């Protein structure tokens, strides 16, 4: 099979069988891209994840683009990324048609009313998981409080807050290293 076609099909499979996205996708990528196809090594996959962490965008897209480029240059990157996106695109496009049709049905309305409280719990869980992985010192806590207040109470734009905190982080490391 053509390598690009193979990339496209493999990553569509990964996209189709990952629920929740992001880190849920890593075991699948490991099995498909490392163990079956030998596109990258385990070490390289760890590198990709580290890069995905420090570059913008969904982790799944970062991984697909990286592996695709490594295997078959630009065309490979394009095929792998398209593959990972396509299944969810098609499914959501169909579902939003269905939802618009059934949104006013009583039982659907009740179901989503219940679901909203459940989604809050899932956001809380995601928040806690990220908090556990984050460094915990006065600087990190101050940035968290600052970002939370700026967004929730002062309505500042998230883009602005993210950019400002990145700059603060750079300054903090520079100053920390300058000290004896």
Partner 1 sequence: MTVLELFWAFFKIGLFTFGGGYAMLPLIRQEVLAHGWMTAEEIIDFIAISESTPGPLAVNMATAVGMNTAGIAGAACATLGVVLPSFLVILIVSRFYVRFRRSRLMEGAMTGLRPAVIGLIGAALLTTGKDVFFANGFVLTPALVVSICIFVITAILAFRKTHPILLIALSAVIGIGAGYAL
Which residues 112-141 are close enough to bind partner 1 by CB under 8 A? 112-128, 130-131, 134-135, 139-141
Find where tokens 């079956």 sit.
36
At CA 58, angle to CA 127 and CA 138, rounded to 5? Answer: 40
Q: Considering only 3-11, 32-40, 47-55, which stretch makes contact with partner 1 by CB under 8 A?
A: 47-55
Query: Considering the complex, what minimum distance in angstroms separates the CB of residue 165 from partner 1?
Result: 3
Out of 35, 104, 106, 180, name the contact with partner 1 by CB under 8 A: 106
Contact with partner 1 (CB under 8 A) among 27, 41, 42, 169: 169
Query: Does 161 participate in binding partner 1 (rule CB under 8 A)?
Result: yes
**Interacting positions 67-96 with partner 1 (CB under 8 A):** 69-70, 74, 77, 81, 84-85, 87-89, 91-93, 95-96
Q: In the complex, what is the shortest distance from the CB of residue 38 to partner 1, in angstroms, rounded to a whole number?
A: 18
The pair of structure tokens assigned to 9 is 């099909």
Burial 110-129 (b: 16+ CB within 10 A, else e): eeeeeeeeeeeeeeeeeeee
Please state, in angstroms and rounded to a whole number, the distance separating the CA atoms of residues 59 and 24.
Answer: 10
12-26: b (≥16 Cβ within 10 Å) or e: bebbbebeeeeeebb
- Minimum CB distance to partner 1, residue 161 (Å): 6
Q: Which stretch binds partner 1 (CB under 8 A): 1-9, 11-19, 32-40?
A: 11-19
Query: With CB under 8 A, what is the number of residues at the site for partner 1?
Result: 99
Among 52, 71, 72, 79, binds partner 1 (CB under 8 A): 52
Rounded Cα–Cα distance for residues 69 and 52 (Å): 15
For residues 16 and 52, the answer to whether their CB atoms sit within 8 Å is no
Closer of 1 and 133 to partner 1 (Cβ):
133
């Amino acid at each position: 099979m053509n390598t690009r076609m193979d990339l496209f099909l493999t990553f569509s499979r990964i996209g189709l069988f990952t629920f929740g996205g992001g880190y849920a996708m890593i075991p699948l990528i490991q099995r498909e891209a490392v163990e079956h196809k030998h596109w990258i090594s385990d070490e390289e996959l760890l590198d990709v994840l580290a890069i995905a962490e420090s570059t913008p965008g969904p982790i799944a897209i970062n991984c697909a683009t990286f592996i695709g480029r490594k295997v078959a240059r630009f065309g490979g990157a394009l095929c792998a990324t398209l593959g990972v996106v396509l299944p969810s695109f098609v499914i959501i496009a169909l579902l939003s048609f269905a939802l618009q049709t059934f949104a006013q049905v009583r039982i659907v309305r009740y179901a989503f009313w219940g679901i909203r409280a459940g989604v809050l719990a899932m956001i809380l869980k995601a928040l806690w998981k990220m908090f556990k992985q984050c460094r915990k010192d006065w600087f990190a806590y101050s940035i968290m409080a600052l970002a939370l207040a700026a967004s929730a109470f002062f309505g500042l734009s998230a883009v602005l807050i993210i950019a400002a905190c990145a700059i603060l982080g750079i300054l903090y490391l520079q100053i920390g290293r300058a000290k004896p």
